[in-house]
């Protein structure tokens, strides 16, 4: 039998062992924590390093391209995924019809860029494969169909959005989306900062642990200043008298607050233009307020809010399928539809019934951007006749309506009476 002295000794030893094990476990946990924090700090440091380089690049940028001075304007056509090749080919056909004289003289050249597909991107495990990027950079203008971005849980690799990657690589800092519904008194132009905000680092956010994930929002003085200058300059040149700044600076005080402050500094240079401020959630509500929404003219927003609100705004003119947008930088410009690649239409064999209006609206902006405003106005007029006035053909996305090619023919026939 154990005597009391032996029992006490064993308890002391066991207690000491428990304490030692606890201390070891705490030490291990502390070591794991330090390793996790060091790994997170390393990743964060690399993100910041890239952003600091980007700031210096912005400081060194020159002026916008003078397209009139170019011997040849190269327009690259990227079909993309799903219905993208169908609607972009139709848009190209209409453009070639309108620019036949410039193509013949060599002033305009169309270039096929076929590698921006989800299959090719997965094969190379890059948002934009290197050879495709070289082709893009060999052009001045990109006409781009929608591309597919893999979603988490889709079974596809985690590849960054081709749109986000292209905007960053070509520094397409301004996303411009016009929304016009004359009968509703709506004439909005939305300027969305395109390279910063919540999309700035793409897929570079990371899981710190299995319980904690982090993404990042980036705002720079240079990025905010240049989008604001473009928006206010556009407002002045086009006779608009109001610019509305849309943020969540009441909650996201640093990045949104800096964006707001930098925009106001630019606003001070345009005293003839009224500047007002709106929170993003309130703006989404006011856009459906029939009395208040008529007051809005030019909206200026950081990246994430601009993405959401411009899609909401597009619904007023018939949905995202009818809206195009411009992505403008100083050296390059890209024009695209704002809707997705509609893989279901392809799967169901309905691709030929896809609506090309979004791409054709983007072509209006393309023509305007390269200095062909008269032709841009005529294409816009033809689209209004075909879509809102005559409506001899209706696209339903099914065999109950016109095909993409039928609508393109209708637009070109209408243009013959305008050009």
pLDDT, tens digit (0-9, with 9 covering 90-100), for 290-331: 989 999 999 999 999 999 999 899 888 877 667 789 999 999
Q: pLDDT per residue over 80-101, tens digit each?
A: 999 999 999 999 999 999 999 9
* Average pLDDT over the chain, rounded to an integer: 91
Residue 248 within any structural domain of the chain: no
Q: Find the domain containing 149 and state its range.
A: 65-172+329-419
Of the candidates 164, 244, 233, the residue with the CA atom closest to the CA atom of residue 199: 164
Residue 246 within any structural domain of the chain: no
Residue 75 within any structural domain of the chain: yes
pLDDT on residue 19: 63
Residue 404 within any structural domain of the chain: yes
Query: Per-residue pLDDT averaged across 329-349, rounded?
Result: 94
Angle (CA) 258-261-264 rounded to 5° is: 150
Show the tokens assigned to 2: 């154990």
**17 or 283, which is more confident?**
283
Q: Is the pLDDT of residue 15 over 90?
A: no
Q: Range with the lowest mean pLDDT among 220-224, 321-325, 344-348? A: 321-325
When divided into structural domains, the chain yields a total of: 1
Residue 364 within any structural domain of the chain: yes
Residue 315 within any structural domain of the chain: no
> HSE of 99 in the Cβ direction (CA atoms, 13 Å)?
28
Q: Range with the lowest mean pLDDT among 38-52, 347-361, 394-408? A: 38-52
**11 or 110, which is more confident?**
110
pLDDT on residue 1: 52
Residue 351 within any structural domain of the chain: yes
pLDDT level of residue 151 (50, 70, 90 thresholds): confident
Residue 290 within any structural domain of the chain: no
pLDDT level of residue 263 (50, 70, 90 thresholds): very high
Q: Range with the lowest mean pLDDT among 58-67, 105-114, 325-334, 372-381? A: 58-67
pLDDT level of residue 12 (50, 70, 90 thresholds): low
Q: Is 405 exposed, middle or buried (0-12, 13-18, 19+ CB in 10 A)?
A: middle
Per-residue HEC secondary structure of 152-191 comes to CCCCCCCCCCHHHHHHHHCCCCEEEEEEEEHHHCEEEEEE
CATH number at residue 380: 3.40.718.10
**256 or 41, which is more confident?**
256
Q: Is the pLDDT of residue 346 over 90?
A: yes
Return the DSSP state at 393. S
Show the tokens assigned to 39: 């790994």
User: How many other CB atoms are there within 10 angstroms of residue 343's CB atom?
Assistant: 15
pLDDT on residue 309: 95
pLDDT level of residue 14 (50, 70, 90 thresholds): low
pLDDT level of residue 11 (50, 70, 90 thresholds): low
**86 or 205, which is more confident?**
86
Angle (CA) 95-101-102 rounded to 5° is: 75
pLDDT on residue 199: 84
């Amino acid at each position: 039998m154990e005597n009391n002295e032996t029992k006490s000794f064993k308890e002391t030893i066991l207690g000491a062992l428990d304490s030692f094990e606890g201390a070891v476990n705490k030490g291990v946990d502390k070591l794991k924590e330090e390793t996790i924090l060091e790994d997170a700090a390393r990743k964060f440091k690399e993100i910041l390093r890239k952003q600091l380089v980007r700031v210096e690049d912005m400081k060194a940028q020159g002026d916008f391209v003078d397209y009139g001075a170019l011997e040849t304007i190269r327009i690259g056509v990227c079909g993309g995924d799903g219905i993208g090749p169908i609607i972009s080919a139709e848009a190209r056909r209409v453009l070639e019809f309108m620019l036949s004289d410039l193509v013949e003289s060599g002033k305009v050249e169309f270039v096929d860029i076929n590698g921006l597909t989800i299959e090719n991107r997965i094969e190379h495990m890059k948002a934009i494969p290197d050879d495709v990027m070289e082709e893009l950079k060999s052009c001045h203008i990109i006409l781009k169909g929608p591309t597919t971005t893999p979603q988490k849980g889709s079974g596809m690799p985690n590849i960054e959005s081709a749109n986000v990657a292209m905007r960053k690589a070509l520094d397409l800092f301004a996303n411009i989306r016009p929304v016009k519904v004359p009968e509703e008194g709506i004439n909005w132009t939305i300027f969305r900062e395109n390279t910063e905000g919540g999309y700035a680092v793409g897929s570079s956010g990371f899981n710190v642990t299995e319980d904690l994930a982090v993404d990042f929002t980036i705002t720079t003085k240079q990025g905010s200043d240049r989008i604001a200058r473009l928006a206010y300059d556009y407002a002045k040149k086009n006779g608009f008298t109001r610019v509305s700044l849309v943020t969540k600076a009441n909650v996201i005080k640093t990045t949104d607050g800096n964006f707001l402050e930098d925009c106001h500094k630019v606003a001070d240079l345009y005293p003839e233009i009224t500047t007002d401020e709106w929170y993003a959630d309130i703006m989404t509500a006011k856009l459906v307020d029939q009395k208040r929404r008529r007051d809005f003219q030019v909206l200026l927003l950081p990246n994430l809010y601009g993405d959401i609100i411009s899609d909401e705004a597009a619904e007023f003119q018939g949905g995202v399928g009818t809206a195009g947008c411009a992505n403008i930088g100083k050296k390059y410009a890209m024009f695209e539809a704002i809707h997705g690649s509609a893989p279901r239409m392809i799967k169901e064999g309905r691709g030929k019934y896809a609506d090309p209006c979004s791409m054709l609206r983007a072509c209006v902006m393309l023509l305007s951007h390269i200095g062909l405003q008269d032709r841009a106005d005529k294409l816009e007029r033809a689209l209004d006749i075909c879509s809102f006035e005559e409506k001899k053909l209706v696209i339903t996305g099914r065999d109950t309506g016109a095909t993409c090619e039928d609508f393109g023919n209708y637009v070109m026939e209408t243009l013959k009476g305008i050009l």
